[in-house]
Amino acid sequence: MKNIAFLTSLISLFFLNSCVKTLEAPEQINEEELITTLVVSLESATDQVELRYTDLDGDGPNQGVFQAPNLKPNTTYSGKLEFLNESESPAEDITLEIEEEANDHQVFYVVNGLNATIEPINIDKNGYYLGTSFSLTTLSPSEGQLQFILRHLPTKPNDGNPATAGGATDLSVIFNLKITE
Amino acid sequence: MFKTLLHTILIVGLLILSIPSAIAQQCNLQIKGIVVDSHDDTPLEASSVLILENNLTVFSNSKGQFELKDLCEGTYTLYFEHIGCKPLEYKVDLNKDTTSLTIELEHHIEALDEVTVASKSYLAVSDSGVEKRIESVAIKQNSSLQLADIVSKISGVTSLSTGNAISKPIINGLHSSRVMIVNNGVRMEDQEWGSEHAPNMDVNTASSITVVKGANALQYGGDAIGGIILAEPEKIAFKDSIYGRSIVGTETNGRAAFINSALIYSKKNGLQAKLQSSYKKQGDVQTPDYYLTNSANEHKNLSAYIAKKTTHKGISSYFSYVNSTIGILSASHIGDASDLYRALNADRPATLTDFSYQINAPRQEVDHLLLKINAYSIVRDKGKLLLQFDYQNNHRLEYDLRIGDQKNIAALDLKLLSESLSLDYHSYRSNGFQFKSGILGKYQFNYSNPDTGVKRLIPDYVKLHGGVYGIADYELEDKSAFEFGLRFDYIDLKSYKFYQKSRWEDRGYDQLFSDFVISESENQVLTKPELQFPSLTATLGYHAHFGSNTNLAANITRSKRAPNPAELFSDGLHHSASRIELGDLSFNQETSTKLSVAIEHQSNSTSLSIQPFYNAIKDFIFLRPLEVTQTIRGFFQVWSYEQTKAELYGLDLDFRQKLTNSIEYSSQFSWVHATDLDKNEALISIPPLQFNNELSLSDHNGNQFGIQSSYVGKQNRYPDYNFNIYIPKDNQWKLIDISSTPKAYHLLGLFANLNLSTQSSLSIRVNNLLNTSYRNYLNAMRYFSDEMGRTITIQYKINY
């Protein structure tokens, strides 16, 4: 029994002195990689349009907000994508990181119902498409969707078809658009 | 000398005490005796005593005592058996009233001829519960497997897995926080709530693993409404010796190598020490058609034990460190539901690569440190007093595919510290009564490292837990016994948790839990939830013997489980599942009422065990899809934890038949039927019907050869959680079928165990012999890839 008594006191000491931490208010985490905003800047000789999708609470319950003005027919726009984290101030531009790691990323485009074609322009270090800049050519007036998909680690090179290119989707935004005079 | 030590089992001594008696009468003679452990004379409970001449069997009570009555004059052969001991045959000439015997059984160092799974249902843990055990030999022959894969050799136990290297046990349809794992007397605290969090223990540290299919073993806790897994270390003899063993082996699939060594030192005066270590490295495994990219893994383990024991008291200390790095299948790293749609509609991953040992992101790096000190003392020969302190530190890092500066920073970094102190008293049986009682205090601290730069999945919290229990058991004249136990637990949980403001309001928490709010920023709310969970658990059991070889054990247990941190606090995207998961702060405890029965019949050549169960769970917590949401990352299904009334019932069957002296057939059958009674639909992730058969051939030298067949049915009862998403490319809404279950499958296996010499043996196992392609409903990777193809494992064991 002496052993036991000795052990108990030993353990109690250990238990009381070490390793018992008190709960303190933790620091707030602002997710750095969070993309809250996609900005699509379209510029032609005669027109300038900005499409924008903003979802400030990320995976939270609030719905995102679209801004999708009309496009002009028979126009070639040069386009540029920007990925922003606007939950921080000032907003963080995540496009820079994506362009730095161009080999691991690619933007895919899907056009549905719109009389338009879209082609990627910029490339990664291996000469394969990255697609954060592109060219959009509109034809006759029409209505439909334009989807931008940012994939992490797709199979490269690929034929630009998101259904077969693999990888994990980091961003997917569908704009409802109108091409009209 | 070592030869004798390791390969022949010594019977240390037999002692016969005769009480003289003048009159010899016919057929009212009796044999009384006690069965003890030869090392330290501790009584061996539940030893079976069989009279070979008339097939009469009795069992020793907790003091090791047994009685054989109404015997006639003559010579009898008694056959003594106890788990972990070499059976002993003993001849006795009966010619006087009472013959008293003291039988000493020696615990094996190596139990050569023991069967894989003991078939008795009422062994040492509790008197009336349904229990099954895996013995030392089976563990050593499967040295490279994980805990869940070894225990799933028991009927009613299956494994829930995430790929090939993460698996956790399911008992009678329940898993994770509902299954308690007790490793060397210490309840594992290793973030067991997550389905992709495997238990952090190395099976090589255990000598036997017992599965209790219920919460009735109250001495370990009151909340194991699924069941308890007890891994126990080997017993070391009280003698001067030093010995060891090493197992080295390889697996063809994944080109794995593994090694496990143990060194044991003991002195006659009760000093004992053991040092054990193991290592396994596996590369990418292969399905019949392709390699699983990034399925490589690495496991390390080191354990040490030192003790000083005497017959009446002892003190011991145990240390173990487990470290695992596990790659997660690349193809399972997906974004939104359209990625899931693509995976579901492809018969193989989009990107296939060649074999590699490289473990890239996504991966898990987990380490677990366990330290235990315990002491016991026999109090006035009436019982045993045990005092134990344990310390555990679990550190889990999960690396995701990230960009920029975050590339090499874990996306999840959790440290869980647990300490507990307990005092228990187990009495020996006297006048039919035996009781166990104890008290427990536990402290737990979870720290979620903010350096991840990712929202905390599990918040920082402190959990205090106090428990007290008493179990009494009364054995009647006819050796049938009643058991009754009560346990009270109190859990106090304090946490700091940030909520997105939008989520806090969307869930209505701003109304319900405004007291918890500490401060608010522009888009987040800091809260301090304080929750208390008192619970009362009760168990009532009965076991009886009918005739010489039929037993019945029945048990009803009402137990409660407090919601775990994931169920309370989840709030965000679960990457590997491609869904948003939401906990609920207002949850009650689950209350389970489980009835389990075991009916067993055993004769020389046949054994049959039938184990039906019924489990009704009030406020059963589970995840159910709530809606589909569109975020900037695409479409996601939102799953929320909900409570319902659940009902699970089923049947486990074990059958074993000796066909000849050398050929044995055995089979196992498990079936569970589970329903959400509120919605009147099936529960998700319930194991399908399983039927295993084995035919084995063995000779008296312990060489063994066998063939195994395993049939797993299609789970036809599953809830419909499918949903639709819009895919612009096809200009269509597409059905995402996440609910349908995989086809039934049948796998064949072969095994051979050869004793090369008294010191060494070779085991060869072939799993999935026919290289069958199949998917397993209980593997989270079933959406993305097939299961492993043929695997040949060769291992060589040497004793020294």
- Rounded to whole angstroms, the Cα distance separating B167 from A32 reads 32
Q: Min CA distance, A147 vs chain B (Å)?
A: 7
**Could you say which residues from 76 to 115 on chain A have a Cβ atom under 8 Å away from some Cβ of chain B?**
87, 94, 97-98, 100-101, 104-105, 110, 112-113
Asked if residues B598 and B553 have their Cβ atoms less than 8 Å apart, the reply is: yes
- Note whether B518 contacts A38, CB cutoff 8 Å: no
- Note whether A23 contacts B462, CB cutoff 8 Å: yes
Residue numbers of the domain that contains B225: 117-230
- Rounded to whole angstroms, the Cα distance separating B188 from B198 reads 11
CATH number at residue A70: 2.60.40
Per-residue confidence (pLDDT) for residue B520, from 0 to 100: 93
Q: How many C-beta atoms lie closer than 10 Å to residue A10's C-beta?
A: 12
Query: Could you tell me the end-to-end alpha-carbon distance of chain A, in angstroms, rounded to an integer?
Result: 96
Q: How far is CA B615 from CA B122, B211, B590, B649, in A?
A: 19, 17, 12, 6
pLDDT in tens, A3-29: 555 665 566 555 555 556 788 889 998
Shared domain check, B254 and B218: no
Shared domain check, B612 and B682: yes
Task: Confirm or reject contact between A5 and chain B (CB < 8 A).
Answer: no
A56 lies in some domain = yes
Per-residue confidence (pLDDT) for residue B122, from 0 to 100: 35
Shared domain check, B196 and B247: no
Shared domain check, B100 and B201: no
- Note whether A23 contacts B496, CB cutoff 8 Å: yes
What b-and-e string marks burial along A14-47, b requiring 16 or more CB atoms within 10 Å of the CB? bbeeeeeeeeeebeebbbbbbbbbbbbbbebeee
The number of domains in chain B is 3
Residues in chain B within 8 Å Cβ distance of A110: 728-729
Residues in chain A within 8 Å Cβ distance of B389: 11, 14-15
Asked if residues B180 and B229 have their Cβ atoms less than 8 Å apart, the reply is: yes
Shared domain check, B461 and B575: yes
- Note whether B632 contacts A36, CB cutoff 8 Å: yes
Residues in chain B within 8 Å Cβ distance of A60: 500, 502-503, 506
Parallel, antiparallel, or unpaired: how do β-strands B208-212 and B186-187 relate? unpaired
- Note whether A36 contacts B351, CB cutoff 8 Å: no
Q: How many C-beta atoms lie closer than 10 Å to residue B511's C-beta?
A: 8
Shared domain check, B53 and B194: no
Parallel, antiparallel, or unpaired: how do β-strands B179-183 and B227-232 relate? parallel
Report residue B395 as tokens: 């550190």
Shared domain check, B236 and B216: no
Residues in chain B within 8 Å Cβ distance of A105: 403
B112 lies in some domain = no
Q: Min CA distance, B469 vs chain A (Å)?
A: 20
Q: Which of B389, B401, B406 sits opposite A153 (nearest CB)?
A: B401
Residues in chain B within 8 Å Cβ distance of A153: 333, 351, 401
Q: Comparing A122-136, B119-133, B267-281, B488-502, which segment has the lowest mean pLDDT?
A: B119-133
A47 lies in some domain = yes
- Note whether A3 contacts B338, CB cutoff 8 Å: no
Q: Hey, is B292 helix, strand or coil?
A: coil
Using alpha carbons only, what angle is made at residue B481 by residues B480 and B483, rounded to the nearest 5 degrees?
A: 160
DSSP B91: E
For A32, nearest residue in chain B (alpha carbons): B453
A27 lies in some domain = no
Q: Min CA distance, B336 vs chain A (Å)?
A: 6
pLDDT in tens, B737-746: 999 999 999 9
Shared domain check, B393 and B441: yes
- Note whether A104 contacts B403, CB cutoff 8 Å: yes
- Note whether B389 contacts A14, CB cutoff 8 Å: yes
Signed CA dihedral, B191, B193, B197, B198: sign only: positive
One-letter identity of residue B313: K
A113 lies in some domain = yes
Q: Which of B417, B455, B502 sits opposite A19 (nearest CB)?
A: B417
What number is the average pLDDT over the span B646-673? Answer: 95
Question: Band of the pLDDT at B117, cuts 50, 70, 90?
Answer: very low
CATH number at residue B200: 2.170.130.10
Question: Band of the pLDDT at A172, cuts 50, 70, 90?
Answer: very high
Q: Comparing A12-21, B350-359, B510-519, which segment has the lowest mean pLDDT?
A: A12-21
Residues in chain B within 8 Å Cβ distance of A173: 632
What number is the average pLDDT over the span A142-155? Answer: 93
pLDDT in tens, B426-452: 888 888 888 899 999 999 999 999 999
Question: Band of the pLDDT at B192, cuts 50, 70, 90?
Answer: confident
Q: Min CA distance, A161 vs chain B (Å)?
A: 9
- A:B CB pairs within 8 Å: 183
- Note whether A162 contacts B729, CB cutoff 8 Å: yes
- Rounded to whole angstroms, the Cα distance separating B510 from B519 reads 12
Shared domain check, B226 and B241: no
One-letter identity of residue B758: T
Q: Which of A23, A25, A64 sits opposite B632 (nearest CB)?
A: A64
A45 lies in some domain = yes
Residue matched to tokens 């017993």:
B235
What number is the average pLDDT over the span B167-172? Answer: 95
Residues in chain A within 8 Å Cβ distance of B453: 29, 31-33
- Rounded to whole angstroms, the Cα distance separating A107 from B350 reads 18
More confident position, A34 or B689: B689
CA nearest B537: which of B585, B590, B493?
B590
The mean of the pLDDT values for chain B is 87
Shared domain check, B640 and B587: yes
- Note whether B632 contacts A173, CB cutoff 8 Å: yes
What b-and-e string marks burial along B569-606, b requiring 16 or more CB atoms within 10 Å of the CB? bbbbbbbbbbbbbbbbbebebbbbebebbbbbebeeee
A74 lies in some domain = yes
Q: Which of B336, B387, B448 sits opposite A169 (nearest CB)?
A: B336
- Rounded to whole angstroms, the Cα distance separating B641 from B476 reads 47
Asked if residues B376 and B386 have their Cβ atoms less than 8 Å apart, the reply is: yes
A19 lies in some domain = no
B268 lies in some domain = no
For B505, nearest residue in chain A (alpha carbons): A61
Per-residue confidence (pLDDT) for residue B59, from 0 to 100: 82
Percentage of chain B with pLDDT > 70? 93
Asked if residues B347 and B287 have their Cβ atoms less than 8 Å apart, the reply is: no
Percentage of chain B with pLDDT > 90? 60
Q: Min CA distance, A169 vs chain B (Å)?
A: 4
Residue numbers of the domain that contains A167: 33-179
The number of domains in chain A is 1
pLDDT in tens, B596-609: 999 989 888 899 99
Residue B4 has pLDDT above 50, yes or no: no
Report residue B301 as tokens: 């383990």
Give B714: exposed, middle or buried? Use CB within 10 Å, 0-12, 13-18, 19+.
Answer: middle
Shared domain check, B595 and B573: yes
Query: Count of residues for chain A?
Result: 181
Per-residue confidence (pLDDT) for residue B125, from 0 to 100: 54
Cβ neighbours of residue B793 under 8 Å, at least 6 residues apart? B144, B249, B250, B251, B252, B763, B764, B765, B766, B767
Residues in chain A within 8 Å Cβ distance of B417: 19, 21
Per-residue confidence (pLDDT) for residue B611, from 0 to 100: 93
B contact test, residue of A10, A11, A132 with most B CBs within 10 A: A11
Q: Which of A25, A53, A110 sits opposite B632 (nearest CB)?
A: A53
The 3 state secondary structure assigned to B152-213 is: CCCCCEEEEECCCCCEEEEECCECHHHEEEEECCEECCCCCCCCCCCCCCCHHHCCEEEEEC
Shared domain check, B293 and B174: no
Percentage of chain A with pLDDT > 70? 89
A contact test, residue of B371, B447, B510, B633 with most A CBs within 10 A: B633
Per-residue confidence (pLDDT) for residue B797, from 0 to 100: 94
CATH number at residue B408: 2.40.170.20
- Rounded to whole angstroms, the Cα distance separating B10 from B755 reads 20
Residue B25 has pLDDT above 70, yes or no: no
A12 lies in some domain = no
Task: Provide ipTM, 2 decimals.
Answer: 0.87
Phi and psi for B187 in degrees, rounded to 5?
Answer: -70, 125
The 3 state secondary structure assigned to B573-607 is: EEHHHCEEEECCCCCCCEEEEEEEEEEEEECCCEE
- Note whether B373 contacts A11, CB cutoff 8 Å: yes
- Tell me the longest C-alpha to C-alpha distance in chain A: 96
- Note whether A28 contacts B498, CB cutoff 8 Å: yes
- Rounded to whole angstroms, the Cα distance separating B376 from A3 reads 9
Residue B86 has pLDDT above 80, yes or no: no
Report residue B83 as tokens: 């788990």
Helix residue ranges, H only, B213-256: none
For B530, nearest residue in chain A (alpha carbons): A23
- Rounded to whole angstroms, the Cα distance separating B145 from B249 reads 12
